[in-house]
Structure 1
Amino acid sequence: MHRTVFTTPVVNTLLRGLSIAYLKLTGWRVEGSLPEVARKSVLIAAPHTSNWDLPYTLMVAFALRLNIYWMGKQSIFKAPFGGLMRWLGGIPVNRAQSSNLVAASADAIRAADGPLQLIVPPEGTRSKTRYWKTGFYYIALGAKVPIVMAYMDYATKRSGLGPLFQPTGDVDADMAAIKVFYAPFKGKNADQFENVN
């Protein structure tokens, strides 16, 4: 995987301090920590309802000392911001040609030399959607890594890492169990997060 702000010495330390200070000043509480067994993992990013989710996610990742990568639609990686987005951990996704994205993502996690947490929003979009995409699930299953149930609750200003979830291969039962955890959380645009099967 490419170098990011999370693996850049000095800058990482500076941005971690600024992130912690900003979150504290604005009333956000960061919760949880990444267990050693989840150094390589897939993080669910939910609810995902606003462009504000990205900067808050990056700040929480700094506070928790994570080494994250995240997927974003290809259009946000165009000039002049493409290089910056990649440095922030972004991986461009062409939604029209994403058939091998799951396998490639699983391979990248397995091949990584050090810690790597891949953040995937199950809604696949900030817009309102009734059904969650299962890409995050199959990436974790293929890479043989746990899913970390990360959350951002704008209603209570809490964000962090919830429990680990090990995919069993029974996608219907597993997705139902995961969605139970996310039921209480509210996104910035709460009406756009519909936690249904």
Structure 2
Amino acid sequence: MNWLRNIAGRVYAVYGLLIFVVTLLVMVIPIWITSLLPDPRKTRYFLFLARGWMKVFMPIVFCPVYRRGKEHFKKGQVYVVVCNHNSLMDVPVTTPGVPGVNKTLAKQEMSRIPLFGMMYRIGSVMVNRKDEASRKQSIERMREALDMGMHMILFPEGTRNRTGYPLKSFYDGAFLLAIDAQVPIIPSLVFHTRKILVPGKVFFALPHHIDFHFLPPVETKGLKREDVRMLKEKVFMMMWDYYGEHNQD
């Protein structure tokens, strides 16, 4: 019955794309108005719109998002939120799904995409990974975001995990940021997005619910840059073990 699944996956992909385009067009003008504001108001209002948008869009495409562990976010405390990365579906889940005002880190190329670029410029710190000056500037801007009371959402695997393992090895960046800023890290895990956008399939998708879980925070107070390896390994093992206990794939 693979042929039937292939047809269903492509029909659903067309349906999902049409719903996305229609809802995006509704959101363009409010988001553009929001883009004219200074931070952190700009990001706060953008997230208000994005959360409303995703609360409508995700159930309509039969991919409801269920969150667990929101109580780990304490009022008045900013965090570096680290998350696994399996699919393009992770972004519309994580950005509106993390409680409070937040930004993420995005490739500068994303800012050039029509319509999407505007949203990335509001909700992200942009970086040209091939340019050392841009990388240094992105670190400064992430620190500024934390200082303004915004969480930073980072994917420490760097790129999407296309392996058969729960996680790829982590880069140091997220953990150095947390140590330098002396803010806690909240590990988080997104489940099932790879079931929606199936790896290796072109213009193919299938509906599935999504789970987004937050783990208890990991403190960084008193840690120094030489502790980054220990911190990174601790968070990696927390996420690896939790994934093994809760994954239903």
Sort the TM-score into its range (normalised by shorter chain): 0.7 to 0.9
Counterpart residue type for residue 117 of structure 2 = G
The corresponding residue for 2:9 is none
CA RMSD across the alignment: 3.0
Q: How does 1:1-197 map to 2 (within 5 A)?
A: 2=39, 6-8=43-45, 12=48, 15-20=50-55, 26-33=63-70, 34-36=73-75, 38=77, 40-46=78-84, 48-61=85-98, 64=99, 66-80=100-114, 81-87=116-122, 89-98=123-132, 99-101=135-137, 103-105=139-141, 107-109=143-145, 111-112=147-148, 115-126=149-160, 128=162, 130-154=168-192, 157-167=210-220, 168-169=223-224, 170-183=227-240, 184-185=242-243
- How far off its partner does 1:73 sit? 1.0
- How far off its partner does 1:173 sit? 2.0
- How far off its partner does 1:7 sit? 1.5
Q: Give identity over the alignment, percent.
A: 20
Judge conservation of contact 1:148–1:164 (CA < 8 Å) in 2: yes
With CA pairs under 8 Å and 6+ residues apart, which has the higher RCO, 1 or 2? Answer: 1
Runs of 5+ consecutive residues of structure 2 not aligned to the other structure: 1-37, 196-208, 245-249
Judge conservation of contact 1:102–1:135 (CA < 8 Å) in 2: no
Judging changes above 3 Å, is the alpha-carbon distance between structure 1 residues 30 and 104 closer, same or farther for their aligned structure 2 residues? same
Judging changes above 3 Å, is the alpha-carbon distance between structure 1 residues 108 and 185 closer, same or farther for their aligned structure 2 residues? same
Runs of 5+ consecutive residues of structure 1 not aligned to the other structure: 187-197
So what's the TM-score if we normalise by structure 2? 0.60
Judge conservation of contact 1:6–1:68 (CA < 8 Å) in 2: yes
Judge conservation of contact 2:142–2:152 (CA < 8 Å) in 1: no
How many residues in Structure 1 have an aligned counterpart in Structure 2? Answer: 176
Higher strand residue share: 1
Judge conservation of contact 1:42–1:148 (CA < 8 Å) in 2: yes
- How far off its partner does 1:179 sit? 1.0
In structure 2, C-alpha distance between the alignment counterparts of 1:42 and 1:83, rounded to whole Å: 23
Counterpart residue type for residue 181 of structure 1 = M
